[in-house]
Structure 1
Amino acid sequence: MGNEIIDELCVRDFAVATSEQPLGDDPFRALVRARSRPLLDIACGLTAGALALNGRLSGRLLLEAGQLEELLDEHGAAQNRHWSRLRALVAALRNFARIYQELAHVQRRLPTYRLLPASADFHAATGERLCLVGRVVTDITAALLGEARQLRIDGANRATAPEDFSEQLPTGRLARTLEQRRTTDTTATVTHLATAFLNLAAESEILRSSARVAPLDYARCFPDPVSEERLRQLGFRFHNLQSLYDTHVSGTSIETSDPDLSILRGHASVIHHLLAIATDLAHYYERHLSPETGDPLLRERPVVDGETIMATLFAYAMAFASDFLDGGQRLSQDILRRYADSGHLDVPVPSYRGFHVRPSNLVARIVAHYGSEVQMDLDGKVFDAGSPLDLFRANETINAGKRRWLANEIARVQRGRNGKLEASAIAAAVLDVVQRLAGEGKIILYRQPLELSEEVGRRDGGVLENTIAEIARLQATGQLDIRSDLTVTFIGDKRVLADLDALARSGYGEDGFGNNVVLPQALSYLRR
């Protein structure tokens, strides 16, 4: 009975809280005045120069702005012409306080990341952006105080004492005194981590393409390819990669024995933080400044300069994320080479025209994805599987092997047709042999009817010689191809061989007539 009464009271309270009863400005003003007091006190201190923005203060701004934004949203301030600008300013303050925190975190942790060199001075650029975003936060607090006066919610605000937000942090880090964890399979753990980074790097083209955009074209990147949604999803995936490291590698003997692993973790971490910054900047642009989706009131009286947002988003966050993505990719490939477990893989040659453009490029892209050295052996001849041009050369050997195999089949089919024949009879015999071989599945016809050359019957020899020569011509002109059971052997890292096996099982990306087929999920990085 008691639980039923509690449930009834909860339902009643929820109904009151979510009711759509009209709310007058005066009672709402009194509520906001009381709830905004801590935030406005801090804003007074910042705008008066009594407080210096730091990590601790930005965290408090984030907390207070978040609570006030929630209150304003609960009562529909975003849809009210008197209160919507206040709500937009509070949201902007929360947004840039979070960006400031991310930048401050990156600046503090830079020595521990041990990042590979970038194309520009990342430390200096981070310090510059930290100062710039700090000024943005101060500008927003000044605008917030002005709006509070307009709405008569400022009250008797007092600047918060500086000592309340002092951040005198000791230098250095605590000594590692915990015993190292042990892992059962070092190679599997390391290669799984490096492979995960490579696969994610292959899906991060948005960073590389955005880093190359000229400033005049920044706005044209919204909503495609750049959007808050895409950046947030990518950021989550790098966060997951960092968590993968912390779960399986951090604090283990593997981490101590191979310093490259912690460097790789630093790259995943800094990319995650840069994407968090980019996501907040994209959110602010799309929500407040974009001509298509932005808030009209804030767009008419902007507090934050659009060029500042775009430069920080593209020239800082996206550009450096792209640099560190490339560095992490090279590092992952080097790690995989050192932990390579070599093996052999026997697979059939591509059924449609052998190693022509599509199969050769797909094989080479798989090899390049891992950065490994893989060779392809065909009848004792060795080719570089990472070079499409070298794979093209294999077609000479493949086609020669096909023709040798087919010569025996032609001899079998045309047996009894030897002797002197007229040219027309030889041509008819050649066509009959080709049709019979096609019917047996020994050759594939890409064009019907076949266009035999005028040389048929005029060449030296009889039906056998003319058939072999004519099939070679028809193959060279793309009218047919020879089926065979020829195989090649790939030699190299077993992780690469596993993907090459998946590619071969899917027909090297095409069917027997050269049409595209869907690649398996394991090869999703090839779709980009």
Structure 2
Amino acid sequence: MNDVNALLPEAERPEERLIGDREFAGLVSELCRPLLELADGLTNTQPAEPILTRPLIGRLLLESKQIEALLDEYGACRNRQWSRFRSLIAALKNMARFAEVLACIRRRLPAYRLLPVRGDFASASSARLHQMCGGIREIAARLLDEAQALGIERRASARASADFAEKLPPGRLAHTSDERQGGDAASTVTHLATEFLNLAAEADWLGSAAQLAAEEWSACFPDPVSEERLRQLVFRFHSLQSLYDTHVAATGIESSDAKLPILRGHATVVYHLLDLATDLAHFYERHLGPLPGDEDPRRLPGVDRELIMATLFGYALAFASDYLAGGQSLCQDILRRYAELAELQVPVPTYRGFHVRPSNLVARIVAHYGSAVVMDLGGTRFDAASPFELFRANETINAGKRRWLAGEIARVRRPGEASKPADTADAVRTVIQQLAGEGRVVLYRQPLHFSPEIGQRAGGVLENATAEIAHLQATGQLDIRTDLTVTFIGDRRVLADLDLLARHGYGEDAFGNNVTLPSALAYLRR
């Protein structure tokens, strides 16, 4: 139908010719003959026979896509007589696509140089491909039955599976091309490792989904598992692979560092597994899962629903999660070896210094990259990867604040010394209020709950004010504002994130309230 006519009121649309089932069956019979011959050949193979070669998968995809497009052109999906046939064509196409990815993974596996993971990936890939063969046979048989019921004619003879045999010798060609000049390949390597780490943190939900029991799989849609969410990860891992091939592959830095091809292999296999997971999620959402407002799952005849779900969760998501985890340690090692040492001076956190939240966030950034970073404070160094080390820095920070505050108290206190404890207590209160008014101290509670010893300690107003402020600070009622800074020393990529964290208050405002961190630090929110 013309798109413009579709916008017209129904009464004003030109009359559209309707095609009868017999006429349409004749049309489909002519165009569908090659696909039905393939289906006939599939049903005549033995279960143990390895039928899914690249030529056969390619023809299945080509023919099924063409027939699917034809059926959609005539609105078969909304016709009671033809919708089942249309669904079986879609199922055959999708199953062929799943088999294509599985066959690709199995074929290229030796070249990926993958690190060991918990399961046997090679055996699991072969098993899934074999199961997919069985699923395709079943759908092919259902398709032939449906074609016969619709009056679709087909030839008696079928193409033998030998017509699509693929006898390829193992091995590869020698790498005899000259190495490319990769420009600043080292910078690209560190960018790739950093992006892989960030993507691994963003995709940490894959492992949780993969560990669920089979009866919980359906409840994962659309959160956390969905076609849309997986497709975004696929795009970014494909970009990672492309960046490597453009700037690092066949360069001198790749040939001199044996771990770089391993990084490429991990990025590639995760890309393929997520690509497969995306197609499986699409197939479930489109053909097998419940429709909006309908809690009963749809049943597509001939499709093994458990095979689809087990391949998605037990294979694609599970191994993608495992290879992401293995790639993280690899990337951290790469970043350590390609580290560019630098220094970063930032202010001490405004609210209570390096207490729980700032210390944990700093340590998580350092752990994310796996690089050694130290924090220097007045010549004393602390391990920035340890929250407890950073907690310990607060002792030095608070001592420095009190020394600075003593000078401020001496500046603002009134001339002369109070002769009575009550007068001393009043003087202490006045000093604290004046310091607060000037922004030298920040009050977290009002009115302040002073200690019973206010004004009664040994010494004059200076000693009593210093001790009382220390009490109020220890009880969380106020804090001292200074211009104290610390210096982080380590890889500049880690320091860039620490600088971003510091510019966002270490995740909190001056009163300790949580603030939203920028998207570049999204891995800290997980």
- Give the TM-score category using the shorter length: over 0.9
Does the 8 A contact of 1:289 with 1:295 survive in 2?
no
SS at match of 1:516: coil
Q: Which stretch has the larger CA shift, 511-520 or 320-329?
A: 511-520
* Partner AA of 1:401 in structure 2: G
- 1:288-303 to 2 correspondence within 5 Å? 288-293=287-292, 299-300=298-299, 302-303=301-302
In 2, Cα distance between the equivalents of 1:483 and 1:141? 75
The aligned residue for residue 484 of structure 1 is 482
Does the 8 A contact of 1:288 with 1:294 survive in 2?
no
SS at match of 1:500: helix
- 1:361-376 to 2 correspondence within 5 Å? 361-376=360-375
Cα deviation, residue 275, structure 1: 0.9
Per-residue deviation, residues 90-138 of structure 1 (Å, max 9, x unmatched): 1111111011010000001010001000101111111111100111111
Cα deviation, residue 356, structure 1: 1.2
In 2, Cα distance between the equivalents of 1:163 and 1:381? 75
* Partner AA of 2:112 in structure 1: Y
The aligned residue for residue 246 of structure 2 is 247
The aligned residue for residue 409 of structure 2 is 410
* Partner AA of 2:20 in structure 1: G
- Residue 355 (str. 1) matches residue 387 (str. 2): no
2:31 to 29, 35, 40: 35
Does the 8 A contact of 1:288 with 1:296 survive in 2?
no
Cα deviation, residue 160, structure 1: 0.9
In 2, Cα distance between the equivalents of 1:242 and 1:295? 40
The aligned residue for residue 76 of structure 1 is 75
The aligned residue for residue 6 of structure 1 is none
In 1, Cα distance between the equivalents of 2:56 and 2:357? 57
In 2, Cα distance between the equivalents of 1:165 and 1:443? 81
SS at match of 2:343: strand
Cα deviation, residue 19, structure 1: 8.2
Task: Give the direction of change, closer, same or farther, for the CA distance of 1:152–1:512 in structure 2 (3 Å limit).
Answer: same
1:26 to 14, 22, 36: 22
Cα deviation, residue 223, structure 1: 1.1
* Partner AA of 2:375 in structure 1: M
Per-residue deviation, residues 48-101 of structure 1 (Å, max 9, x unmatched): 118822222111101111111111111111111111111111111111101101
- 1:208-357 to 2 correspondence within 5 Å? 208-293=207-292, 299-300=298-299, 302-357=301-356
1:512 to 494, 510, 520: 510
SS at match of 1:153: coil
Does the 8 A contact of 2:92 with 2:136 survive in 1?
yes
Does the 8 A contact of 2:383 with 2:390 survive in 1?
yes
Does the 8 A contact of 1:360 with 1:388 survive in 2?
yes
In 2, Cα distance between the equivalents of 1:300 and 1:67? 24
The aligned residue for residue 161 of structure 2 is 162
- 1:60-71 to 2 correspondence within 5 Å? 60-71=59-70
Q: Which stretch has the larger CA shift, 179-188 or 350-359?
A: 179-188
SS at match of 1:328: helix
Per-residue deviation, residues 198-233 of structure 1 (Å, max 9, x unmatched): 111121122122122222211111111011111111
Per-residue deviation, residues 175-201 of structure 1 (Å, max 9, x unmatched): 222211112323212111111211111
The aligned residue for residue 88 of structure 1 is 87
Q: Which stretch has the larger CA shift, 67-76 or 302-311?
A: 302-311
Does the 8 A contact of 1:351 with 1:483 survive in 2?
yes
Per-residue deviation, residues 239-263 of structure 1 (Å, max 9, x unmatched): 1111111111111111111111111
Cα deviation, residue 410, structure 1: 0.7
Q: Which stretch has the larger CA shift, 158-167 or 275-284?
A: 158-167
Cα deviation, residue 414, structure 1: 1.0
In 1, Cα distance between the equivalents of 2:253 and 2:90? 44
- Residue 47 (str. 1) matches residue 46 (str. 2): no
Cα deviation, residue 158, structure 1: 2.5
In 2, Cα distance between the equivalents of 1:456 and 1:74? 87
Per-residue deviation, residues 419-468 of structure 1 (Å, max 9, x unmatched): 422x3222221111111001111100111111212211222222211111
SS at match of 2:381: strand
1:524 to 519, 522, 525: 522
Does the 8 A contact of 1:286 with 1:294 survive in 2?
no
1:473 to 465, 471, 474: 471
Cα deviation, residue 296, structure 1: 11
The aligned residue for residue 3 of structure 1 is none
Structure 1: unaligned runs, 5 residues or longer: 1-8
Cα deviation, residue 417, structure 1: 3.7
The alignment yields a C-alpha RMSD, in angstroms, of 2.2
Task: Give the direction of change, closer, same or farther, for the CA distance of 1:20–1:412 in structure 2 (3 Å limit).
Answer: farther
Does the 8 A contact of 1:446 with 1:513 survive in 2?
yes
SS at match of 1:346: strand
The aligned residue for residue 4 of structure 1 is none
Per-residue deviation, residues 25-52 of structure 1 (Å, max 9, x unmatched): 1221111111111000000011011882
Q: Which stretch has the larger CA shift, 446-455 or 333-342?
A: 446-455
* Partner AA of 1:42 in structure 2: L
Task: Give the direction of change, closer, same or farther, for the CA distance of 1:294–1:281 in structure 2 (3 Å limit).
Answer: farther
Q: Which stretch has the larger CA shift, 313-322 or 445-454?
A: 445-454
- 1:2-13 to 2 correspondence within 5 Å? none
The aligned residue for residue 200 of structure 1 is 199
In 1, Cα distance between the equivalents of 2:277 and 2:156? 34
Cα deviation, residue 523, structure 1: 2.0
* Partner AA of 2:492 in structure 1: K
Per-residue deviation, residues 314-353 of structure 1 (Å, max 9, x unmatched): 1111111000001111101100000111111111100111
* Partner AA of 1:96 in structure 2: M
Task: Give the direction of change, closer, same or farther, for the CA distance of 1:318–1:244 in structure 2 (3 Å limit).
Answer: same
* Partner AA of 1:368 in structure 2: A
In 2, Cα distance between the equivalents of 1:104 and 1:294? 37
* Partner AA of 2:367 in structure 1: A
* Partner AA of 1:443 in structure 2: V
The aligned residue for residue 120 of structure 1 is 119
Task: Give the direction of change, closer, same or farther, for the CA distance of 1:138–1:375 in structure 2 (3 Å limit).
Answer: same
Cα deviation, residue 309, structure 1: 1.7
Does the 8 A contact of 1:145 with 1:154 survive in 2?
no
Task: Give the direction of change, closer, same or farther, for the CA distance of 1:154–1:390 in structure 2 (3 Å limit).
Answer: farther
Task: Give the direction of change, closer, same or farther, for the CA distance of 1:296–1:39 in structure 2 (3 Å limit).
Answer: farther
The aligned residue for residue 449 of structure 1 is 447
SS at match of 2:58: helix
In 2, Cα distance between the equivalents of 1:44 and 1:364? 62
Task: Give the direction of change, closer, same or farther, for the CA distance of 1:506–1:512 in structure 2 (3 Å limit).
Answer: same
* Partner AA of 1:514 in structure 2: G
Structure 2: unaligned runs, 5 residues or longer: 9-13
Does the 8 A contact of 1:102 with 1:277 survive in 2?
yes
In 2, Cα distance between the equivalents of 1:91 and 1:322? 29
How many corresponding residue pairs? 515
Does the 8 A contact of 1:447 with 1:480 survive in 2?
yes
* Partner AA of 1:476 in structure 2: A
Cα deviation, residue 486, structure 1: 0.8
The aligned residue for residue 399 of structure 2 is 400
SS at match of 1:333: helix
